[in-house]
Amino acid sequence: MLPLAGIKVVEIAENIAGPFAGQVLARLGAEVLKIERPEGDAGRGWGPPFYGDASTTFHACNQNKQSVVLDFNDEADLAWLRARIAASDVLVQNMRPGSLEKFGLGAADLRAATPGLIYVSLWALGAVGPQRLAPGYEPMVQALSGMFSLNGDPAGAPSRVGMQVLDLGTGVWAALGAIAALHRRQVSGEGATVDSSLLETAMGWMGPHWAAYAGSGKLPARDRSGNPRVVVFQALPTADRELVVAAANDRLFAKLAAELGHPEWATDARFLTNADRAGNKDLIIGLISDIMRLKSSAHWQQRLDAIGVPCAPINDLSDLLGNPQVQALGMVSSPPGMELPLMGLPLSFDGARPPVTSGAPSLGQHTKALRAIIHDGDLQC
């Protein structure tokens, strides 16, 4: 049995962050009902590419859910929704700030009616503060938070992280908050209001950089592939393509130096410790690069793998599924009845990954069935 079996979730969310939070809960076994407006989740149109009538992005964030279409301006629809929420454990929402409150669906109203409800909100900039009601999307929050300043080639302009790291990360934090609140409710009987935001996620991810800045007063240097505080820990040139090498401690650096034919580097005062190497980074990286660019990446990967120095070629997505380690993990599978391979949940229980039981629902796929029956104590409206 999956860990969240028996937990009922109502999701009123669009795009990526909120739906991903709902999908995490669904993949862990919760019954997730996705409430959509007649026009549907805007994420359905975030293509091309499309699979069927929805974008592949929508499919990636909405598996194992049921979809019900409601008109929030219709009092009968709202009454049904309130009854459904009252019979549920968790509400996940990331709608435009203030939009649910005008329908009596804000945290204060719903928790007053159902004290045991876990009300989870995902915001752009946070639940408090002068900009709490501001809308926002991933690129602007990456820019606002300082993430841009840490990413990209130091010789060029700063750039965004290429994936929706804040949307997906905030979805995970929201799901984690819901699970923690459910655990507390078992003892106290009380629900909770759980808030997370893209800005808070960005700040959390930058914790080590912030600590370095707070401790030194120096802004972190941008490094295209490496880390300004750990050496050797970056992409290095070979005869054909770059290879990421992570000789991240003194022992591994000594192994790397010996393999490159220069064991004396490990006892050289300029390179003796990580701090020494960081202070002479350009010098040691130049010396290593001069040697590594003489042979292919496959040559160096084989040699470094043999001595236990972590390394990896810079793959693209087309290389991913052919990797034996990736295949062994079984992370990628297609939902029943679909030929669209999608990523699974990155954790397992007793050796089994939570399964995909259904693909993303079509718009309103379950409206008629769920509105027509009394479902496990829900009120019929």
- Is residue 288 in some structural domain? yes
Q: Report d(CA 161, CA 197) in Å as an integer.
A: 17
Which string of DSSP letters, residue by residue, matches 278-319?
HHTHHHHHHHHHHHHTTS-HHHHHHHHHHHT--EEE---HHH
DSSP classification of residue 240: S
pLDDT at res. 46: 94
Residue 11's nearest CA partner among 41, 55, 51 is 41
- Confirm whether 380 is domain-assigned: no
Residue 133 is predicted with a pLDDT of 84
- Is 160 in the same domain as 247? no
pLDDT score at 186: 96
Do 258 and 333 sit in the same domain of this protein? Answer: no
Same domain, 101 and 171: yes
Please report whether residue 58 resides in a domain. yes
Q: From residue 214, give the alpha-carbon distance in Å to each of 190, 218, 289.
A: 38, 8, 32
Phi/psi at 108 (5° precision): -65, -45
Q: How many domains does the chain have?
A: 2
Residues in the chain, overall count: 381
pLDDT of residue 323: 82
155 plus 287 within the same structural domain: no
The crossing angle, in degrees rounded to 10, of helices 17-27 and 165-188 is 50
Q: Give pairs for 208-216: CB < 8 Å, separation 24+.
A: 209/150
Regarding whether 240 and 151 lie in a shared domain, the answer is no
With respect to residue 323, please indicate whether it lies within any of the assigned structural domains: no
- The DSSP line for 323-340 is -HHHHHHT-EEPPTT---
Element (H or E) spanning 51, and its range? strand 50-51
CATH of the domain at 264: 3.30.1540.10
Alpha helices in the chain (DSSP H): 17-27, 56-61, 75-86, 107-113, 138-145, 147-150, 165-188, 198-205, 207-216, 250-259, 274-279, 281-292, 297-307, 317-320, 324-329, 367-372
Judgement on whether residues 269 and 334 belong to the same structural domain of the protein? no
Residue 334 lies in a domain: yes
Structural domain contains residue 43: yes
The answer to whether position 292 is within a domain reads: yes
**One domain for residues 173 and 307:** no
pLDDT tens for each residue of 262-292: 999 999 999 999 999 999 999 999 999 999 9
User: Residue 322: its pLDDT value, please?
Assistant: 82
Q: Mark whether 242 and 332 lie in a shared domain.
A: no
272 and 149 belong to one structural domain: no
Buried b (16+ CB within 10 A) or exposed e, 164-188: bbbbbbbbbbbbebbbebbeebeee
Residue 3 lies in a domain: no
Domain boundary among 314, 341, 362: 314
102 and 152: one domain?
yes
Q: Would you say 83 and 378 are in contact if contact means Cβ atoms under 8 Å apart?
A: yes
Sheet of 65-69, strand order: 65-69, 31-36, 8-12, 90-93, 118-123, 192-197
What pLDDT shows up at residue 314? 87
How far apart are the C-alpha atoms of 182 and 344, rounded to whole Å?
A: 23
CB of 79 closer than 8 Å to CB of 50: no
Domain co-membership, 19 together with 126: yes
pLDDT for the residue 373? 62
The residues of the chain scoring below 50 in pLDDT are 374-381
Non-local CB neighbours of 177 within 8 Å, separated by 6+ positions:
120, 194, 195, 196
Q: Looking at residue 378, what is its pLDDT?
A: 47
288 and 361 both lie in a single domain: no
Domain that holds residue 195: 8-205+328-372
Quote the CA–CA distance of 51 and 324 in Å, as a whole number.
Answer: 27
Cα 21 to chain center, whole Å?
9
